[in-house]
Amino acid sequence: MSETERTVEQQVYENIAARKYTDGYTPGVILVRQLVKAVEELAEALSHCRTAVQYTNLNTFIDEMDRVGQRARALFDNRMVWNLVRLTPGQRAALPEEIADVAIPLDVAAVVLGMDMSAAKLEKSAADVKRGVR
Ligand SMILES: [Mg+2]
């Protein structure tokens, strides 16, 4: 496959790898760790969605997600945690469908925002390479 035939996902993966986020991890650990990362980022995105009216169910939920997002960040950064992670073939087999379910609402959000998701992912992940491991 030529450079131009690489999928957006492959190019994003390469940017994440260039940032050293995959170093020393098995593919299964990379997978679970990135799902934890997705929770952190989802909490960040939701933090921009609070309603003006305080104490709504949404705001309470976003506050809870803030705490979960902080836990996700700590977990992501804690190298000791990941040594014990092993996915069974059955667990792994269930994940493509769930990953698609995670991506679909984000695609809908991207359309609502009028953004080119592929371009944004490539641009953001490439720009983050120079930041290295935070
Ligand atoms: Mg972010």
pLDDT digits (tens, 9 = 90+) for 59-103: 999 999 999 999 999 999 998 899 889 999 999 999 999 999 999
Of the candidates 29, 9, 22, the residue with the CA atom closest to the CA atom of residue 92 = 29
pLDDT tens for residues 119-131? 999 999 999 898 8
Rounded to two decimals, the pTM is: 0.91
Q: How far is the CA of 91 from the centre of ligand 1 (A)?
A: 27
Q: How far is the CA of 16 from the centre of ligand 1 (A)?
A: 14
Q: How far is the CA of 2 from the centre of ligand 1 (A)?
A: 31
| Burial of 112 from C-beta contacts in 10 A (0-12 / 13-18 / 19+) | exposed
User: What is the rounded distance in angstroms from the CA atom of residue 13 to the CA atom of residue 113?
Assistant: 24
